[in-house]
């Protein structure tokens, strides 16, 4: 069976996919959650591309949020069966990702320091995890990492979605990536699904994500 590669978003780590990994593994699906270095887009793309190549032909690649920008570059030219963008950046080459986030609660919750760009811990629940319980949010806050000052809003240079079938999942209660921006990007996809969730459905709907992915495996 073809495998699945999961690519997390900004500030997060491979741990955020634990529920989805468990769901897929329970169904006998080979799955790998990539740990991005979060040191800049080039390094993140390299890490994801290595995992996609290792997964073999006809894999399904899922990117969440910033992870969409990563898989858009990383999957280019590889024999991927489908890309899945989960409230993610499905961008044209040169498109400004910062502009797509304009007006979101995330943009007013950023904290800039010498270590990079972080999210105000007091805003994490509202911005990312409105559907999750307090224990989940507390665990997440302790795991979030800063993003580099020069790499938080990367521009795509090569768009894999132009040649690979693509599903976009719009999260209609998202406070991080505006729904209007998601729908603009979703219009470029082969298939569009809308879920009434916050920005992080992997925390509360891992089975739904697994169902969506499995439906596209060869």
Range 40-49, long-range pairs (CB < 8 A, 24+ positions): 40/148, 40/150, 40/151, 41/69, 41/70, 41/73, 41/151, 41/154, 44/70, 45/70, 45/73, 45/74, 46/74, 48/5, 48/7, 48/74, 48/75, 49/73, 49/74, 49/75, 49/78
65 is catalytic: yes
DSSP H or E run through 19: helix 18-26
Give the closest residue to 200 by CA, choosing from 88, 108, 123.
Answer: 88
- Which among 65, 104, 181, 200 is annotated as catalytic? 65
60, two tokens: 């399904």
Give me the active site residues, please: 65
């Amino acid at each position: 069976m073809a495998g699945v590669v999961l690519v997390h978003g900004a500030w997060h780590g491979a741990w955020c996919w634990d529920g989805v990994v468990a769901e897929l593994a329970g169904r006998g699906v080979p799955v790998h959650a990539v740990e991005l270095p979060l040191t800049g887009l080039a390094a993140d793309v390299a890490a994801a591309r290595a995992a996609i190549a290792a997964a073999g032909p006809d894999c399904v690649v899922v990117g969440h949020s910033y992870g969409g920008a990563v898989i858009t570059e990383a999957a280019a030219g590889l024999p991927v069966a489908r890309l899945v963008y989960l409230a993610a950046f499905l961008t044209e080459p040169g498109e400004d990702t910062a502009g797509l986030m304009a007006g979101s609660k995330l943009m007013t919750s950023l904290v800039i320091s010498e270590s990079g760009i972080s999210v105000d811990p007091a805003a994490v629940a509202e911005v990312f995890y409105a559907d999750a319980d307090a224990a989940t949010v507390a665990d997440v806050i302790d795991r979030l990492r800063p993003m580099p000052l020069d790499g938080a809003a990367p521009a795509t240079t090569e768009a894999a979605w132009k040649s690979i079938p693509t599903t976009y999942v719009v999260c209609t209660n998202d406070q991080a990536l505006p729904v209007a921006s998601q729908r603009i990007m979703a219009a470029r996809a082969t298939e569009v699904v809308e879920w009434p969730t916050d920005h992080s459905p992997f925390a509360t709907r891992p089975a739904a994500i697994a169902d969506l992915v499995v439906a596209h495996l060869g």
